[in-house]
Amino acid sequence: MTPEVERAISQIEQTFSGHLVKVEAEAQGGAYVIVHDLFLGKQYVPSSSWVGFTISYAYPHADVYPHYLDAELRRVDGLVQGAGLSVATWQNRQVIQVSRRSNRWNAAIDTAATKLCKVLEWLRSR
């Protein structure tokens, strides 16, 4: 992993202390990351899930996008899909893909940890 990716993982572990963070090196210098037991909101069943994503070797000059959730996740009203959500495959597993691209990603201020916080905030507001 590149030093920038390692720093990003450290920031994620600090921001989400108390949550299991699993990391697998990616062949080009990036990493596959899964943060477990994140609260998504009472509108989901279950209300917590893991969230996964890839930090590219180009980080911090590349957006951390997309994010993934457990494919079993459902809304209380029975729906999951809609704008920004779709079924996909990631790391050889069925997932729900969360498409929240940062069109104005700024390497000077945006981080993988803050992006995950924004994705969680978006999910909780739906």
Q: What is the pLDDT of residue 111?
A: 94
> Quick one: angle between helices 3-15 and 112-125, nearest 10?
40
Chain segment 4-63, per-residue pLDDT in tens: 999 999 999 999 999 999 999 999 999 999 999 999 999 999 999 999 999 999 999 999
Residues 64-121 pLDDT 10s:
999 999 999 888 887 656 678 889 999 999 999 998 777 677 777 889 999 999 999 9
Q: The domain at 3-125 falls in which architecture?
A: Roll (3.10)
Q: How much is the pLDDT for 81?
A: 64
- Asked if residue 101 lies in contact with residue 122, where contact means CB atoms within 8 angstroms, the answer is no
Q: Of all residues in the chain, what percent carry a pLDDT higher than 70? A: 96
Q: Does a cis peptide bond (omega within 30 degrees of 0) precede residue 46?
A: yes
Cβ pair 9, 21 in contact under 8 A: yes
- What pLDDT is stored for residue 106 in this prediction? 79
